[in-house]
A and B are shown apart, each in its own frame.
Chain A
């Protein structure tokens, strides 16, 4: 089989993995090495479905000995199989990088023979790329659950980011759908990676030339909708992973039916979108999982984004005064993102702001106006009870309600998110939009490990 054929099979098998960010690490150019990494990440192309192409995302092999129910590459499926030699992956990486097609390599694999064998094959590829081809660009590698500690350590020293997929939100689901994987085989390497990353940071503060271990941190991915867990359970799990294992990112991928004996339908795409929004609130906006749910709401609302939802449930928090509220409080206002909050804090230091100024500064008021005052003035008087309806988004809502709404309001809604004002933060890659938000469909087809 020639490289072209392998590439087609193994790129196709890897493409549903959502973790396509190339950010999180700034590595300057080094003498004798080709390439460097920039922490903001760079998109090199966009596919027809609007996803960022940044990394050469490949499986080393799709010859899997496991039989995960949700996966296209499971051993019981009749699909074309292929395995790259380490040399082939290294050659592709270098040639693509030299032409600026890519920002780096994202290497994963199905489990060939056993976990250690697979991990060794991956390590040999990374070693070749780094030490013989002298590649200095970005590398994200997957750790194979169950692989030996020493092997995972070695991979971490060669890569910028390393990740183990949590796969499913509960042990019961894992037992049912991925019987060969266990909580322990997944969490043990995750813990090990956490310790390695912390230790390496400590060493680096002591000796500048200590070897760097996964300097861009670790991330994970979980499949949503293949098993019955509620959003509350999923977001709480994510919070636990952020706190306990110091993950940089949790990626969610909406389940897609590729195999028989599985639920026949994918979850609504909006659900995945909402999970990313909730995740963003945890990581960037200082919310806790507990604030986003109550006993009555086990799941995130599909009608309004989680920040709006929270705001509507907590009217005692509002209105927020634009001239005096601190940065964190501003961030809790629906429709105000980081960039808007930064602009407000900067501009109010040098002068008074009214709603008109905010508009000119391109702070999007569509949602925010219901929750703000400028020097004590409100935008317009609203009945508390009508705000919820005005804030709904989603195209369905727009179509259904256009005729029942006062003019203008139905039109205002769109499939937007709470990040509308913050396109800029979004297009800068370590966020969901370049990958998860717009992606869905059958990610798990080649979820690999």
Chain B
């Protein structure tokens, strides 16, 4: 029973799985290196591309491609127990095959299902809630602050949607940015601040959007609780309709624009 640490990447985690199989380890915890405290007596597992690829191919072929993708998406969750749950899940998968996700009687199977839903769910929300601004250079810039590390999923979506538009999605929470040049994107770590000088008609467009959005609410039916449930407050600081000043000032919160809880 040991604690394992690794570099925190998905390949790193797959290398950990590899080590657990080949060295018959049964770790009590698996954490990215930065979480390690002095108290822990932990062993560091190096990331090996080849080992990672071998494990990923094994999951795909011996369990199923869907399970492999589920494991990847669940690993994007920020929950501390994600890697231990995933290791157990993969082990069960090698025993029972592609039906592993059906074993809902088993606690860690439910846990992986939840982690996957959390991450995939936040990504899906961001497909809708992300807002871009047009900059003077013609590049569209978007800032997000997700809880799960879902930038790759979000960038994949916008690669399909805005195929012939240049854009940057800046994940300020994880200090990284996806930069798309009209063909493919790369993810840059610690990208620094972007130049967001606005294009000429950007402000006008934002005003039109908030005017449209304001016109949609049916006053007599206000339901803050429902709105908060469907559009959690923590997304709102990045959304034009909640941050943009209105020409005529309405009392704060009057039209459902809370940003603070």
Contacts and interface: CB of A to CB of B under 8 A. Distances in A.
Nearest to B164: A34
Contact of A15 (B117, B215, B239): B215
B8 interface: no
Interface string A244-261: 000000000000000000
Contacts of A96: 205, 208-209, 212
Contact of A347 (B102, B134, B221, B227): B102
A343 B117 CA distance: 14
A351 B105 contact: yes
A179 interface: no
Contacts of B230: 43, 46, 50, 52, 427
B127 A42 contact: yes
A99 B160 CA distance: 15
Could you say which of B117, B221, B256 has the most chain A C-beta atoms within 10 Å of its C-beta? B221
A7 B213 contact: no
Nearest to B210: A101
Contacts of A95: 201, 205, 208
Contacts of A442: 218
Interface in B133-174: 133-134, 140, 142, 158, 160-165
A281 interface: no
B207 to A, nearest CB: 7
Given A12-B215, A48-B256, A50-B227, A101 B161 contact: no
Interface in A403-449: 424, 427, 438-442
A353 interface: yes
A211 interface: no
A284 interface: no
B220 A44 contact: no
Contacts of A101: 131, 209, 240
A178 interface: no
Nearest to A58: B212
Interface residues of B, number: 54
A439 B101 CA distance: 36
Given A99-B131, A99-B140, A29 B212 contact: no
> For the complex, would chain B's binding face be called helix, strand, loop or mixed by DSSP majority?
helix
A11 B212 contact: yes
A45 B161 contact: no
A346 B66 CA distance: 15
A32 B163 CA distance: 8
Given A35-B161, A101-B131, A441 B221 contact: yes
A51 B101 contact: no
Contact of B227 (A48, A353, A441): A48
A29 B131 contact: no
Nearest to B132: A99
A183 interface: no
Interface residues on chain A, size class: 35 or more
B235 to A, nearest CB: 10
Contacts of B255: 48
B222 A44 contact: no
Interface in A1-55: 3-4, 7-8, 11-12, 15-16, 28-29, 31-36, 42-54
A51 B131 contact: no
Question: Which of B117, B127, B239 has most chain A Cβ within 10 Å?
Answer: B127
Interface string B204-234: 0101110111011110111110110111000
A150 interface: no
A18 B198 CA distance: 35
A243 B102 CA distance: 35
Nearest to B130: A100
B237 interface: no
B104 A99 contact: no
A103 B239 CA distance: 15
B60 interface: no
A98 B103 contact: no
A45 B213 contact: yes
B162 A440 contact: no
A91 B133 CA distance: 16
Contacts of B227: 46-50
A31 B182 CA distance: 11
B105 A7 contact: no
A46 B231 contact: yes
A42 B223 CA distance: 21
22 contacts: A11-B212, A28-B160, A31-B163, A42-B124, A46-B230, A48-B222, A48-B255, A48-B256, A53-B213, A57-B216, A95-B201, A96-B208, A99-B209, A100-B161, A101-B240, A346-B102, A347-B104, A350-B105, A353-B105, A438-B223, A439-B221, A441-B220
Instruction: List 10 tightest A-B contacts by C-beta distance, closest first.
Output: A48-B256, A50-B226, A49-B221, A346-B102, A48-B217, A347-B104, A46-B231, A44-B128, A47-B217, A42-B128
Interface of A: 3-4, 7-8, 11-12, 15-16, 28-29, 31-36, 42-54, 56-57, 92, 95-96, 98-101, 103, 343, 346-347, 349-351, 353, 357, 360-361, 424, 427, 438-442
Given A31-B163, A357-B105, A360-B104, 8 more contacts: A7-B212, A28-B160, A29-B160, A35-B161, A45-B128, A57-B216, A95-B208, A99-B131
